[in-house]
């Protein structure tokens, strides 16, 4: 196995801030880079900005600024989005940079010297949004009425792409891994059979671009220079490589230690593999440079049934998605929802449901229950030895199988399948809690029950550690925070651990940390308010969060004035009924001293029946802002202890109090 791994996203047009479609591509690349780092392989992720398009020049002209200034203004949006989505570390290549200019001009001088470039007149319809000349077969009935199309006639330079028809055919037949998934490879092969035309690589009607070294009156056509950003960001010394080639030597000989070329995988959406799988290898072959190993092509994300697109205006931005479900929720959703290569359907409701059911309920609740029960039943001290109980031993064996299966799925771009294997373990651990009933084992205090309780915690935390390791490429900060809560033993820092560290069983006992709720549930009936509230409280804190983590922990206090803002009163339950369609909810009608028809919705149905509640006097938070829960406006919150997997105990007065009596 190579000691280095190199993955790229396309370099993105900077005519608008990034959306969840571009976010998906970048998440895929980041997951692969993180997976390979856990393999002990030095990994580089390169993304960037494609700036030399005609529409950027046109928009800049409309504002009376230079195209470079226009791009400078938008680049920070990409860095903000990637930070919010927990992408990194990454290299960001701008096609306007001097380093990139040098790469493009150096390589094309060699292609020109090899006789693969000629000059000719070119006429055709140019698509200013897609930044390409449109084939006759693609033109609408009246192209002159389409504001995105311009008819251009200019002299231009062409690359002899047709010369490489046989080479490309043979290359793709011998290298099936060059395009994945396989049905995308077949699409490229079928298009290749239609024949190749020479490729226009320059323009003379604009000066926004990289000048041709042999004819500065022309600049490289946007796709002619954009592909080479992958080489610019790789650390590859192109001048050294071309010098080696001129001497008949291997262009990879003598490359600097920081070189990652050739690329292991280019990741892209299904609209651009033509450029990456045919034009790009032909250009590199002409120059005599090493070809990338693979291109992974994914589908589109549709928003309400239509392709997510800046030009259509139907985009959903990472800042909004992260505000609603955190980076963990966004990354999990896009990887779990579809297989690589297929189209996906994105909606705010689908995103929120997946977060609530899989992350908040299945996973977050599991973690909180295990840490809480371990703290209560074993004073936080966990022993690692799993007893000779058939259920425990079989579950541990399954964990080892699923661990290796998920790793293989990551390696082969089967991210959905990897997460399904991981979630099978999450569900098994939840089932184990329900079957073993550790609170009963603790209550019995029999010798056999005591040993079984120790084994229960051992198998649960041994498997949870493997789950956290497997989830680290998908949910980097969340898995690390949970790992810190559990306080697993070991000398290695989180980022230094490899897959063998997670595969190995824990052999030393340890003391659990404090359980904190990291995945709060969403109110699915009130998502707009949820998003607005979380955006205010969480996204604004994202930037200083890393700095805050570096500071020593201090006790978290509230002032007396904060406490006085909370108004707690006694109320009497007039009526209680189950909320139809909700397993955990009760709808309470209470008398608060001023009215007898106040409604409160609470998730206590597992511990209290409607009959239990009717006629009770309890305490509620009186001045909590009303919110919809399952379509019902709830006007307060019950004061209770427990929850998160433990039985709920309502706080109530010892003696009867009149409705409306304040607490404190």
- Sketch the domain layout of the chain as residue ranges: 4-298, 348-511, 560-650
pLDDT band with cut points at 50, 70 and 90 for residue 548: very low
pLDDT of residue 542: 45
Contacts of 68 (CB under 8 A, 6+ apart): 51, 96
Contacts of 72 (CB under 8 A, 6+ apart): none
Q: Cα–Cα distance between 644 and 370 in angstroms, integer? A: 10
pLDDT of residue 152: 78
Provide the 10 A C-beta neighbour count for residue 149. Answer: 20
Q: Is residue 460 pLDDT above 80, yes or no?
A: yes
Q: Which of 141-150, 360-369, 444-453 has the highest mean pLDDT?
A: 360-369
Pick from 602, 575, 578, 577: nearest CA to 589: 575
pLDDT of residue 444: 86
Task: Confirm if 52 and 13 have CB atoms less than 8 A apart.
Answer: no
Q: Is residue 187 pLDDT above 50, yes or no?
A: yes
Residues 271-304 pLDDT 10s = 899 999 999 999 999 999 999 999 999 999 887 6
Q: What is the DSSP string of 469-500?
A: HHHTTTSHHHHHHHHHHHT---SS-GGG--HH
Residue spans of beta strands (DSSP E) within 592-639: 598-602, 617-621, 627-629, 632-634, 637-638
Q: Which of 199-203, 507-511, 660-664 has the highest mean pLDDT?
A: 507-511
Domain topology for 4-298: Rossmann fold (3.40.50)
Average pLDDT, the chain: 90
Domain topology for 560-650: OB fold (Dihydrolipoamide Acetyltransferase, E2P) (2.40.50)
Helix/strand/coil (H/E/C) assignment for every residue in 138-167:
HCCCCHHHCCCEEEEEEEEEEECHHHHHHH
Least confident of 378-392, 492-506, 543-557: 543-557
- Could you identify the residue written with the tokens 């239609």? 194
Task: Confirm if 276 and 227 have CB atoms less than 8 A apart.
Answer: yes
Q: Cα–Cα distance between 139 and 125 in angstroms, integer? A: 8
pLDDT of residue 311: 53
Query: Starting from the edge strand earliest in sequence, which strands make up the sheet with 637-638, in order?
Result: 598-602, 586-591, 568-578, 617-621, 637-638
Residues 204-261 pLDDT 10s = 888 999 999 999 999 998 888 999 999 999 999 999 999 999 999 999 999 999 999 9
Pairing of strands 117-127, 149-159: antiparallel
- Could you identify the residue written with the tokens 């390409």? 132
pLDDT band with cut points at 50, 70 and 90 for residue 33: very high
Task: Confirm if 223 and 180 have CB atoms less than 8 A apart.
Answer: no
Pairing of strands 117-127, 295-298: unpaired
Pick from 335, 320, 318, 323: nearest CA to 79: 318
Region 435-460: mean pLDDT is: 92
Residue 646 region, left (φ>0) first, then alpha (ψ -120 to 50), else beta? beta
Radius of gyration of the chain (CA): 30
Residues 96-132 pLDDT 10s = 999 999 999 999 999 999 999 999 987 778 777 766 6
Q: Is residue 539 pLDDT above 70, yes or no?
A: no
Region 588-598: mean pLDDT is: 90
- Could you identify the residue written with the tokens 């000719």? 120
* Percent over 70 (pLDDT), the chain: 92
Q: Is residue 540 pLDDT above 50, yes or no?
A: no
pLDDT of residue 131: 64
Q: Is residue 544 pLDDT above 50, yes or no?
A: no
Q: Cα–Cα distance between 198 and 111 in angstroms, integer? A: 14
Counting Cα atoms < 13 Å in the Cβ hemisphere of 514 gives: 1
Provide the 10 A C-beta neighbour count for residue 115. Answer: 10
pLDDT of residue 536: 62
Q: Is residue 554 pLDDT above 60, yes or no?
A: no
pLDDT band with cut points at 50, 70 and 90 for residue 145: confident
Task: Confirm if 139 and 179 have CB atoms less than 8 A apart.
Answer: no
pLDDT band with cut points at 50, 70 and 90 for residue 41: very high
Pick the CATH number of 348-511 from 3.50.50.60, 3.40.50.300, 1.10.240.10, 1.10.730.10: 1.10.730.10
Model confidence, pTM: 0.80
pLDDT of residue 535: 65
Task: Confirm if 348 and 355 have CB atoms less than 8 A apart.
Answer: no
Domain 4-298 and domain 348-511, same fold? Reply is no
**CA dihedral of 141, 143, 145, 151, whole degrees rounded to 10:** -160
Measured CA angle at 21 (ends 5, 264), to 5 deg: 15
pLDDT band with cut points at 50, 70 and 90 for residue 380: very high
* Percent over 90 (pLDDT), the chain: 69
pLDDT of residue 558: 60
Structure tokens at 284: 């590199």
Contacts of 330 (CB under 8 A, 6+ apart): 20, 23, 27, 85, 318, 321, 322, 351
pLDDT of residue 153: 78
Region 550-569: mean pLDDT is: 63
* DSSP reduced 3-state for 639: coil
Q: Is residue 67 pLDDT above 50, yes or no?
A: yes
Distance of CA 187 to the CA centre of its chain: 28
What is the dihedral sign for C-alpha 593, 599, 603, 609?
positive
- Give the burial class of 425: count Cβ atoms within 10 A of its Cβ; 0-12 exposed, 13-18 middle, 19 or more buried: buried
Least confident of 107-111, 122-126, 410-414, 450-454: 122-126
pLDDT band with cut points at 50, 70 and 90 for residue 307: low
Q: Is residue 550 pLDDT above 50, yes or no?
A: no
Q: Cα–Cα distance between 250 and 242 in angstroms, integer? A: 10
pLDDT of residue 547: 47
Q: Is residue 555 pLDDT above 50, yes or no?
A: no
Least confident of 218-227, 391-400, 510-519, 536-545: 536-545
Region 92-96: mean pLDDT is: 97
Q: Cα–Cα distance between 238 and 222 in angstroms, integer? A: 20
pLDDT of residue 581: 67
Structure tokens at 404: 């290796």
């Amino acid at each position: 196995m190579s000691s280095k791994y190199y993955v790229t996203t396309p370099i993105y047009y900077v005519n608008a801030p990034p959306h969840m479609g571009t976010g998906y591509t970048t998440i895929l690349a980041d997951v692969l880079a993180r997976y390979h780092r856990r393999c002990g392989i030095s990994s580089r992720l390169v993304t960037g900005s494609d700036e030399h398009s005609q529409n950027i020049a046109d928009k800049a002209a409309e504002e009376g600024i230079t195209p470079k200034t226009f791009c400078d203004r938008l680049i920070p949006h990409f860095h903000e989005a990637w930070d919010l989505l927990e992408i990194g570390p990454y290299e960001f290549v701008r096609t306007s940079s001097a380093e990139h200019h040098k790469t493009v001009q150096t390589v094309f001088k060699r292609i020109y010297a090899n006789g693969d470039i000629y000059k000719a007149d070119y006429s055709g319809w140019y698509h200013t949004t897609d930044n390409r000349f449109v084939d006759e077969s693609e033109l609408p009935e009246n192209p002159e009425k389409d504001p995105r199309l311009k008819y251009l006639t200019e002299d231009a330079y062409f690359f002899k792409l047709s010369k490489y028809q046989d080479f490309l055919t043979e290359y793709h037949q011998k290298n099936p891994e060059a395009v994945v998934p396989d049905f995308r490879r077949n699409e490229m092969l079928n298009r290749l059979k239609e024949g190749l035309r020479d490729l226009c690589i320059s323009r003379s009607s604009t000066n926004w671009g990289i000048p041709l070294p042999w004819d500065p009156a022309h600049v490289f056509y946007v796709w002619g220079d954009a592909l080479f950003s992958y080489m610019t960001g790789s650390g590859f010394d192109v001048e050294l490589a071309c010098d080696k080639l001129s001497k008949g030597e291997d262009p990879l000989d003598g490359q600097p230690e920081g070189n990652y070329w050739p690329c292991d995988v280019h990741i892209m959406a299904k609209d651009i593999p033509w450029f990456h799988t045919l034009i790009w290898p032909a250009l590199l072959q002409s120059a005599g440079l090493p070809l990338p190993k693979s291109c992974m092509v994914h589908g589109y994300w549709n928003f309400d049934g239509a392709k997510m697109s800046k030009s259509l205006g139907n985009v959903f931005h990472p800042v909004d998605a992260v505000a609603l479900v955190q980076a963990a929720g966004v990354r999990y959703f896009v990887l779990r929802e579809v297989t690589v290569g297929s189209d996906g359907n994105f909606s705010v409701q689908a995103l929120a449901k997946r977060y609530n059911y899989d992350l908040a309920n299945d996973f977050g609740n599991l973690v909180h229950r295990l840490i809480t029960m371990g703290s209560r039943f074993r004073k936080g001290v966990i022993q690692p030895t799993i007893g000779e109980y058939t259920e425990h031993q079989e579950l541990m064996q399954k964990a080892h199988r699923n661990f290796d299966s998920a790793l293989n799925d990551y390696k082969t771009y089967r991210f959905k399948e990897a997460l399904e294997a991981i979630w099978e373990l999450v569900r098994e651990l939840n089932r184990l809690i329900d079957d073993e009933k550790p609170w009963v084992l603790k209550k019995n205090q029999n010798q056999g029950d005591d040993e079984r309780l120790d084994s229960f915690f051992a198998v649960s935390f041994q498997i949870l550690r493997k789950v956290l390791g497997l989830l680290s490429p998908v949910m980097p900060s969340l898995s690390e925070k949970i790992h810190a809560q559990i306080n697993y033993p070991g000398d290695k820092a989180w980022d230094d651990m490899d897959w063998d560290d997670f595969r190995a069983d824990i052999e030393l006992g340890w003391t659990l940390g404090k359980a904190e709720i990291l995945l709060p549930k969403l109110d699915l009936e009130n998502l707009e308010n949820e998003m607005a509230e979380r955006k205010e409280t969480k996204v604004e804190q994202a930037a200083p969060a890393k700095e805050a983590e570096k500071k020593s922990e201090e006790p978290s206090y509230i002032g007396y004035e904060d406490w006085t803002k909370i108004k707690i009163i006694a109320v009497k339950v007039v009526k209680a009924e189950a909320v139809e369609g909700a397993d955990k909810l009760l709808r309470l009608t209470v008398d608060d001293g001023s009215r007898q028809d106040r409604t409160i919705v609470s998730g206590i149905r597992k511990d209290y029946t409607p009959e239990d509640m009717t006629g009770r006097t309890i305490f509620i938070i009186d001045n909590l802002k009303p919110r919809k829960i399952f379509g019902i406006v709830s006007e307060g919150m019950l004061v209770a202890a427990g929850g998160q997997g433990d039985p709920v105990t309502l706080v109530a007065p010892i003696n009867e109090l009149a409705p409306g009596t304040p607490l404190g």
